[in-house]
Amino acid sequence: MIKWLVVIGVVGFVYFYFIKKTPQEIQKSKPKKDNSQNNINEMVECSVCKTYCEVDDMILSGSKYYCSQECLENA
C-alpha cells in the first residue's frame, strides 16, 4: 500500500514539475506580435498604366509611383 502511494506521489511530482506548464510559462513562451509592422501593405496606383501594386514594389520618382521601369520611361 505504501509503495503505491510513493509511486503515485513520484508520478504526480514529475507531472506537475516537468510536464504541466503554468499559465505564466505558457504566456512567456508565445511569440509576441510586433505591432509596429503591419502585415498588409498599402496599395498605390501606377501613374501611367493605372494598376495597383504594393508600395514596397513601386518605383517612386518625382512624387509619382510607377509599377515598373517601363512605365517610368513612358511617363
Question: Global pTM?
Answer: 0.47
> Hey, which bits of the chain come out as E strands?
43-45, 52-54, 59-61, 64-66
C-alpha cell at 41: 501593405
Helix (H) or strand (E) holding 59: strand 59-61
18 or 73, greater pLDDT: 73
- What does the domain layout of the chain look like in residue ranges? 2-32+40-74
CB 38 within 8 A of CB 56: no
Question: For residue range 2-27, what is the model confidence (pLDDT) as tens digits?
Answer: 888 999 999 988 888 777 666 665 55
Question: For residue range 31-55, what is the model confidence (pLDDT) as tens digits?
Answer: 555 555 555 678 999 999 999 998 8
